[in-house]
Structure 1
Amino acid sequence: MSNGLGNIIKTLQLDTRLLGMIGAFVLIALVFHIATGGTFLTPRNLFTLTLQTASVAVMATGMVFVIVTRNIDLSIGSLLGIIGMLMGVVQVQVLPEIFGFGSPMIWIITVAIGLALGAAIGGFQGWLIGYLAIPSFIVTLGGLLIWRGGAWWVSRGTTISPLDPSFVMLGGATGTIGVTASWILALVGSALTIYGLANNRRKYISHDFAVKPLWAEYLLGAILVGAICGITAIMNAYMVPTRILERRFAAEGLEMPEGYTEAYGFPISVLIVLAVAIAMTVIARKTRFGRYVFAMGGNPDAAELSGINTRLLTVKVFALMGALTAIAAVIASARLGSAGSSLGELDELRVIAAAVIGGTALAGGVGTIYGAILGAFIMQALVSGMGMVGVDSPLQNMIVGGVLIVAVWVDILYRRKTGDA
């Protein structure tokens, strides 16, 4: 039986590491579902889990590039904090005086300022690392302290609120696309998945490469489409509470029809994560920049001798990390509806853990975007599940630390077995 399953996995050319992470996620979810009396694997909790994971998942995609190039970024949690605070000040205290409260220009300009600020700070840190040859650990450790202090200094420790209503929708807690749009998105995603599989097969055949049997292509397509539709069904199964619907109708001066129901659908923050994941995967696999990143991580000396400007590449990688941190700051502050000086605390550890659990090698040169995102979900599922069963916060940190160490050990064993070490 096991040999038959192994042959199917080999024929489908599935990533065994990915399957292992999916298995770990399922196991964690089932254990907590039993421990919580059947409340962990409910549409409501899974919806909340995706909201809580979104900002870490976005930063984890950038951390893949940072670690692949044999660097580390300890400053992202503090950077998220100061960017979130500055965006809060801009949209609460500055832009309403210019455009008026509720103007769509507020959230657009706020996000643009955040992205520019994140890329600039990240690029500056990359310049210190690449051109002044200061170790990334030291530069970003200094950044961790500097930007966290800056986040407090911006508001003197007070919380900035309420944030712009349109901006808050980007956090996903109040911003969703509904059932119909979610199913349309699922159908489009399914069609693109099938097209991608067919197009890859056609390219392989045109270059006389070996291809999977047709039954394997059909089975893989069915699995992927089934996963897309299953996730969509779960998001669409979370219904808007009746009291919220009643308040919404009352605010519009209407009476809610008897028996009226409405589901949330995909949160906007999840769509942002999806867009970032696709963009980062394309960058990693289809662009010269992505190839240079992995070449530098595999052998920095050889990469430099081959003509790659590794110092400028380092600046670009950290600037990209800064921009992604700004996107995460948008999601995190919008989800909370406010910006406090503690925003993003310890996120750097969660992001690094997500990337490492997702298979990014600390030695550099190896890492995947989808692995980092799945690693972020595993981390958040573990933390959320422990919180639901009443595990104290200090013990949670101890368990997460232990899981991280075990994940790195398993990764070392895997690479030795596959010859990647």
Structure 2
Amino acid sequence: MTDAADHATAPPRAAPRKNIFRTLEIDTRLLGMIGAFVVLCIVFDLVADGRFLTPRNIFNLTIQTVSVAIMATGMVFVIVTRNIDLSVGSLLAVCSAVMAMMQTVILPDWLGLGLGHPAIWLVSIVVGLVVGTAIGAFQGFLVGYLTIPAFIVTLGGLLVWRNVAWYLTAGQTIGPLDATFMKFGGINGTLGETLSWAAAAIAVAGTIAMILSNRRAKVAHGFPVKPLWAEGLLALIATGAIVGFVAILNAYELPSGRIRRIFELRGEAVPDGFTMAYGLPISVLVLIVIAVVMTVVARRTRLGRYIFATGGNPDAAELSGINTRLLTVKVFAIMGALCALSAVVASARLANHSNDIGTLDELRVIAAAVIGGTALSGGIGTIYGAILGALIMQSLQSGMAMVGVDAPFQNIVVGVVLVLAVLIDIQYRRKTGAK
């Protein structure tokens, strides 16, 4: 009785003070990854005598990251559902081979579409997407309905699809590819300075609209919301990141010789002091669109909820009515479609299809997803984390190549970083109580 009285008269406990990161609801693990990325860039820039953080190198770094980053967004879904896909590099190769043969043999010779026909690039991409999605769905069927372990199915796919690509091209390098198709590779296709700023303005407006929409939704459902100053600070940070990124890309100017050739094709002379900027690569724009779509799927759709529920507890998900077998087919089909899109970017950047395209990409993609925080035990993963993981890996390899590190030692470093990233992630989850 006395205890109850004492409890009733005791002064209320003060609410625990929140630090700025809790107030902003920022994932501290993501913040740590960004910090590690920044430190990595600064170190490489110092060692490389200021050559790493130049607009030219940042431009090249972004277009080199796109192919792996696109596949890493799909690998998040695969790993979250407690599966693995070792065939993504080979699947990229077979999709690249199909699209290359469509552009150089099937459409021009069999269907009579001349070189440069406006339908060639579009038909080739559609066929590549169909092939990639079909192969992914087939592998998902073997895993989901025939209950063959994903490791075995995709290990077989790693061996099968790359050699199918070899037979499709008779082991030859196929090119040159369609000029419009090659614009998806990066260097041959950019928005230019004006359109890049327009894209930045759209991105800023979309980011602010998303923040306001999330706030209104929380208020409407009675959930706690961040202070207005915190929302404004997040919007300011996002705006600064978008504008800064586009400003760096716009600072990379076309060589004078290329500008001269452009004006010669127009039959004009180059004005004195005239310059042109590359701007935002189309391939990076494709990655941004895919990242937004995959994030919306993960957070706002029934499919996304089913994927994470299945990864968290497959038995409970099945008992709750989720068709986990069909879900597995869908996840692998999405992975196949993203491999086809990556094949577009990779082959367009090289301007041809080669037999070694996508070699070891399966390891890079899995590493990017894991470094980005996707738990191999399933149920946990983010799209933005996988993209950041791909960027960190590419920065690490590019920086080591720039300072003259041998390729074998580069692979050793990447392997060590992967193991350390998993170890740090395990320790972080134990400390925070996350599963």
Q: Distance in 1 between matches of 2:102 and 2:224?
A: 56
Q: CA separation in 2, counterparts of 1:104 and 1:7?
A: 56
| Structure 1: distance between partners of 2:30 and 2:312 | 21
Taking the TM superposition and a 5 Å limit, the aligned residue runs for 1:243-262 are 243-262=257-276
- Which residue identity lines up with residue 75 of structure 1 in the other structure? S
- Give the AA of the match of 1:23: G
Report the equivalent of 1:19.
31
Q: Structure 1: how far apart are the matches of 2:185 and 2:242?
A: 22
**Distance in 2 between residues matched to 1:291 and 1:90, nearest whole Å:** 38
Question: Which amino acid in structure 2 is aligned with residue 130 of structure 1?
Answer: G
**In the alignment, what sits opposite 1:57?**
69
- Pick from 67, 75, 78 the counterpart of residue 79 of structure 2: 67
Residue type of the partner of 1:342? D
Alpha-carbon contact 1:296-1:303 (below 8 Å) kept? yes
Q: 2:51 aligns with which of 30, 39, 56?
A: 39
1:375 aligns with 2:389: yes
Q: Which amino acid aligns with 2:340?
A: A
Alpha-carbon separation, structure 2, partners of 1:291 and 1:281: 12
Q: 1:356-390 deviations in whole A, cap 9, x for unaligned?
A: 00000000000000000000000000000011011
2:169 alignment partner in structure 1: 155
Looking at structure 2, the residues matched to 56 and 6 of structure 1 have their Cα atoms a distance apart, in angstroms, of 37
Structure 2: tracts of 5 or more residues without a match: 1-16
Q: Does 1:214 align with 2:238?
A: no
Inter-partner Cα distance in structure 1 for 2:313 and 2:343: 33
CA distance in 2 between partners of 1:220 and 1:251 (Å) = 46
Runs of at least 4 residues off by over 4 Å: none
SS of equivalent residue, structure 2 residue 182: helix
Q: Structure 1 residue 140 and structure 2 residue 140: aligned?
A: no
Structure 2 distance, partners of 1:7, 1:297, is 32
Instruction: Give the drift of 1:141.
Output: 0.4
Q: Matches of 1:260 and 1:104 in 2, distance apart?
A: 31
Matched with 1:112 is 126
| 2:105 pairs with 1:93 | yes
Task: Look up the equivalent residue of 1:309 and give its one-letter code.
Answer: N
User: Are residue 315 (structure 1) and residue 342 (structure 2) matched?
Assistant: no
Cα deviation, residue 6, structure 1:
7.8
Offset at residue 7 of structure 1 (A)? 1.2
SS of aligned partner of 2:353: coil
Measured in 2, the distance between the counterparts of 1:169 and 1:317 equals 29
Larger radius of gyration between Structure 1 and Structure 2: 2
CA distance in 2, matches of 1:128, 1:206: 44
Q: Which residue of 1 aligns with 2:425?
A: 411
Question: Partners of 2:233 and 2:159 in 1: how far apart?
Answer: 51
Secondary structure of 1:165's partner?
Answer: coil
- Partner in structure 2 of residue 270 of structure 1: 284
Give the CA deviation at 1:298: 0.3
1:189 is aligned, of 203, 226, 234, to 203
Q: In 2, Cα distance between the equivalents of 1:410 and 1:393?
A: 26
Alignment of 1:217-366 (within 5 A): 217-366=231-380
Q: Is residue 78 of structure 1 aligned with residue 120 of structure 2?
A: no
- C-alpha contact (below 8 Å) 1:383/1:396 kept by paired residues: yes
Contact 1:82 1:341 in 2 (8 A): no
- Asked if 1:397 is matched to 2:411, the reply is yes
Structure 2 counterpart of 1:100, one-letter code: G
2:84 counterpart SS class: coil
Per-residue deviation, 1:252: 2.9
The answer to whether the 8 A contact 1:118-1:322 is kept is: yes
Q: Partner residue of 2:8?
A: none
How far apart are the structure 1 equivalents of 2:230 and 2:211? 11
Give 1:150 deviation, angstroms. Answer: 1.3
Please state whether the residue corresponding to 1:149 is helix, strand or coil.
helix
One-letter code of the match for 2:73? T
Post-superposition shift, 1:96? 2.3
| Identity of matched residues, % | 61
2 CA distance for matches of 1:405 and 1:15? 21
Of residues 154, 178, 189, the one that matches 1:175 is 189
Check the 8 A contact 1:73/1:137 in 2, yes or no: yes
* Partner Cα separation in structure 1 for residue 172 and residue 249 of structure 2: 35
Paired with 2:333 and 2:233, the residues of 1 have a C-alpha distance of: 40
Please say if residues 239 and 263 of structure 1, whose CA atoms lie closer than 8 Å, have aligned partners that are also in contact. Answer: yes
Question: In structure 2, what residue type is equivalent to 1:41?
Answer: L
SS in 2 for 1:361: coil
2:251 and 2:222 map into 1 onto residues whose CA distance is 45
Q: Distance in 2 between matches of 1:163 and 1:215?
A: 51
Deviation per residue, 1:170-196 (Å, 9 max, x gap): 111110011111111111111111111
Query: Post-superposition shift, 1:254?
Result: 2.2
For 1:191, the aligned partner's letter is: A
Equivalenced residues, count:
417
Letter in 1 for 2:258: I
Deviation string 1:165-224 (CA, Å, 9 cap, x unpaired) is 000001111100111111111111111111111121122222222111111111111111
* Cα distance in 1 between the residues matched to 2:353 and 2:308: 36
What is the rounded CA distance, in whole Å, between the counterparts of 1:55 and 1:237 in structure 2? 24
Q: CA deviation at 1:66?
A: 0.2
